[in-house]
Amino acid sequence: MTTVSASGKRVLLIIGGGIAAYKCLDLIRRLKEHGIGVRCILTTAGAEFVTPLAVSSLSAEKVYTDLFSLTDEAEMGHIRLSREADLVLVAPATADLMAKMAHGLANDLASTALLATDKPVYIAPSMNSQMWTHPATRRNLETLQNDGITIIPPGEGDLACGEVGAGRLAEVQDILSTVLQALKHDNPLQDLRGRKVLVTAGPTHEPMDPVRFIANRSSGKQGYALAAALAARGADVTLISGPTMLDCPPNVTRVNVETAQQMQTACAETLPVDAALCVAAVADWRPAQRATQKNKKSFAPAAGEEQKTQIDLVENPDILAWLSQHEHHRPSLVIGFAAETEDLLQHAADKLARKGCDWIIANDVSHVGDDAVMGGDNNQITILHRDGQDKWPRSSKTVIAEKLAARIAAQLGAMPE
């Protein structure tokens, strides 16, 4: 598919109420730097956080606020506002705006324009974590996804209300990258249409008894971001996920599993596929025996002695090697991830040769705290392949996923379907 520059395209930005509205000022500036025209609707609540003058100064366009303005409707009615853009973006998308969209309400300029548009709609939710996880919001989110609206998921961390959790507006760079990807294609993000892709993500939990299990710190964020980016390009994506707290990306089929053996079974049931991305942090070992009741501590040791116990482990299936060497349904492109804490490139190169996959994505997971890869929002990768290696700068996992999706699309595009 021929790609085109996003320059010259137009975005209708609907700014909802919430402290995150101030980030839209930076978003407007960055969109303009890419030659994208930005026309804005500022909701009544949004105007409590950013002024029409600030929005107008950055967008170099009139800001629209009132559905019943005779002047505005004469010069640029809500129908034209919603139709003359190439893409409609709602940021921040509040719980109230999402509820209006899900139920087809149209009692102000923003909701009326959204109901009248025939263009792709993207929303970047932002709200308190309890509001984000409330059943009503989850129902509305599902309705919006079924209506074909693309969700730019919120991040996790400190919220303006003082709480900690999911609900932060996605980073401006992530929103920008998503919009640019959508605008840079004649038929946005459809260069993987007709391709089937398998993605594994998250950790596996290997039970010792009904209460305890062996696991790792994987959050699943990179795998979920990849599934979302591939689906946005039109791929038929099956996401086989270990236990995570993440929402399923739009237009992705998720299969929930717990153990490595269950993950391999789910992969087998998904084949054949064009590409397989083994992003999951699969436990290498599992307990040889799983107790049917909770294991209790034995009698207390003698004074000065530590309590010791022994757990016998057996090796789990190597899903990446199994897919790479599959006799009947080996995918055209098999990609593995190497999470290492030392000798990153050497271990990754050994893994590439040993497993038989096409690419290995190497990342250093030794960092902890705000710089952590496992559980964090950012990553730095090196792609190893038969012809060499490519090191990418540290970026958000969403940006890395979109860049990888573009590279995968290019690779599969050179192969027969």
Domains identified in the chain, total number: 2
**Contacts for 338 with CB less than 8 Å, ≥ 6 apart:** 344, 347, 348, 351, 360, 361, 362, 363
Domain membership of residue 306 (yes or no) is no
Q: What is the pLDDT of residue 344?
A: 83
Q: What is the pTM of this model?
A: 0.58
Q: What is the pLDDT of residue 3?
A: 41
pLDDT digits (tens, 9 = 90+) for 390-410: 888 888 888 888 889 988 988
Residues 143 and 164 placed together within one structural domain of the fold: yes
Residues 117 and 210 placed together within one structural domain of the fold: no
Domain carrying residue 334: 196-288+312-413
**Contacts for 390 with CB less than 8 Å, ≥ 6 apart:** 382, 383
Residues 348 and 406 placed together within one structural domain of the fold: yes
Which residues are the active-site residues?
A: 161
CATH number of residue 28's parent domain: 3.40.50.1950
Could you tell me if 337 and 360 are in contact, meaning their C-beta atoms sit under 8 angstroms apart?
yes
pLDDT digits (tens, 9 = 90+) for 65-86: 987 765 555 555 667 888 889 9
Domain membership of residue 384 (yes or no) is yes
Which range has the worst mean pLDDT, 64-68, 99-103, 135-139?
Answer: 64-68
Domain membership of residue 148 (yes or no) is yes
pLDDT digits (tens, 9 = 90+) for 255-309: 999 999 999 999 999 999 999 999 999 998 898 888 888 887 665 555 666 677 7
Banded model confidence at residue 186, pLDDT cuts 50, 70, 90: very low
Using CA atoms, how far residue 405 sits from 303, 314, 339, in Å, is 59, 35, 20
Banded model confidence at residue 324, pLDDT cuts 50, 70, 90: very high
Mean pLDDT of the chain: 86
Which range has the worst mean pLDDT, 239-253, 310-324, 369-383?
Answer: 369-383
